[in-house]
Amino acid sequence: MQHYLFCPMCTSPIVTKFLDGRDLDVCSGDCGFVHWNNPVPVVAALVYCNSQFILARNRAWPEGLFSLISGFLDAGELPSSAIAREVKEELGLDVLSCDFIGFYPLKKMNQIITAYYVRAEGTIFLNEEIADIKKLEKDSLIAFDFGPLKLGKVVVDDALLKGLISRV
Ligand SMILES: [Zn+2]
């Protein structure tokens, strides 16, 4: 969790106060600022294109780690539009359909992830954020070891449960 030393509104020192059942950073002055530490929304996509699933490795990740395409929302953007934009930006693919898989709180990162099953078409063109991709057939995806990025496995399992994968 990000901590403030000084109030971002009025620059008074920040103090810790027990509010709504937890310790929070609050302004010691009169401005009323409370750092609620609300989670950041993130969108993620399990991408299916040309009869294969596409996982990606972010440049910041160690060799061998692959997971879903993900990104942040622009101001005023719908999550479904955000994921279509991210798939286009990161893989160069056009999104044909976008089916909701689930919401996943990632407490360690203070994020709430909205995951979609995305069918896409086009020619893959990676942007600078993506170091490498992995194309998998359905059986390989189901058996894929996401390593420490366990959320990918949970999303794949939920997509199976919802019948999104078996429809392909
Ligand atoms: Zn203040």
Same domain, 18 and 60: no
Ligand 1 center from residue 3 Cα (angstroms): 14
Has residue 40 got a pLDDT over 90?
yes
Which percentage of the chain shows pLDDT scores above 90? 89
Measuring CA to CA, how many Å separate 152 from each of 7, 25, 55, 61?
37, 33, 9, 14
Q: Residue 3: what pLDDT?
A: 81
Same domain, 156 and 105: yes
Ligand 1 center from residue 108 Cα (angstroms): 27
Ligand 1 center from residue 21 Cα (angstroms): 21
The predicted model gives 82-100 an average pLDDT of: 97
The predicted model gives 68-91 an average pLDDT of: 97
Ligand 1 center from residue 105 Cα (angstroms): 29
Ligand 1 center from residue 77 Cα (angstroms): 30
Q: pLDDT tens digit string along 77-87?
A: 999 999 999 99
**Residue 28, CA atoms < 13 Å, CB-side half-sphere:** 9
Domain residue limits at 125: 40-167
Q: Residue 168: what pLDDT?
A: 53
Same domain, 12 and 50: no
Same domain, 51 and 19: no
Same domain, 156 and 76: yes
Same domain, 102 and 145: yes
The predicted model gives 144-162 an average pLDDT of: 94
- Of the candidates 53, 52, 81, 80, which has an alpha carbon nearest to the alpha carbon of residue 66? 53
The structural domain count of the chain equals 2
Q: Residue 18: what pLDDT?
A: 94
Ligand 1 center from residue 37 Cα (angstroms): 16
Ligand 1 center from residue 17 Cα (angstroms): 14
Ligand 1 center from residue 91 Cα (angstroms): 43
